[in-house]
Amino acid sequence: MLDTFLHEVAITAIIVKDGKYLITRRSKSKRRFPGMWVVPGGRLETSDYVELPKDTEHYWYNVLEKTLKREIVEEVGLEIENIEYITSLARVHEDGAPSLVISCIADYVSGGVILQEEETDKAEWVTLSEAKEYDLIEGIYDELVMAENHIKGIKSEWSKNI
């Protein structure tokens, strides 16, 4: 039986650099979605906040943003800033684990792509139209459309665009 309050929390970044978006191919050894293209990110770990001083008496703030910055450095070697919310999704995986994924857009700041090989084996900077040529995990292209709209100042909710 699923614990209705326990979710794996992940956060991803649609990184924008010179009008292109970074996509990465998941390692073929990954348990979930091997060999498919995604945007980089990772899971929230309690160590992302419990080992830090609290920002108020009871709370840590900007936990997701700090997690995303850490994951992007670890996974692709880039520094990002201006993290903004795009959308969220939930899924119950084949192994029964429920996930909540928060998808964000962020600006590239610095660094060259350096892949964490156990996570990803290839990376590409692509335009929205070029992204259609890749075997993206379901919904990622639609998130890229949302990011493109966001850049143009158009607010949108997720919808299937392919």
pLDDT reported for residue 85: 96
Question: What is the domain partition of the chain in residue ranges?
Answer: 8-151
User: In this predicted model, what pLDDT tens digit does every residue of 100-136 receive, in sequence order?
Assistant: 999 999 999 999 999 888 888 999 999 999 999 999 9
First to last CA, the chain: 35
Name residue 158's amino acid. W
User: Contact 15/131 with Cβ under 8 angstroms?
Assistant: no
pLDDT cut 90: percent of the chain above it: 69
Residue 9's DSSP bridge partners are 100
Residue 102, helix vs strand vs coil: strand
Helix (H) or strand (E) holding 140: helix 140-151
Residue pLDDT, tens place only, 13-24:
999 999 999 999
> Rounded to an integer, what distance in angstroms lies between the CA atom of residue 25 and that of residue 137?
10
Torsion of CA 2, 140, 70, 90, to 10 degrees: -20
Contact 47, 16 (CB under 8 A): no
pTM score of the predicted model: 0.90
CATH number of 8-151: 3.90.79.10
Structure tokens at 129: 């139209």
Query: Which segments of the chain are extended strands (E)?
Result: 8-17, 20-26, 37-38, 41-43, 79-92, 98-110, 120-126
Tokens of 132: 């259609």
The position carrying tokens 């999704």 is 89
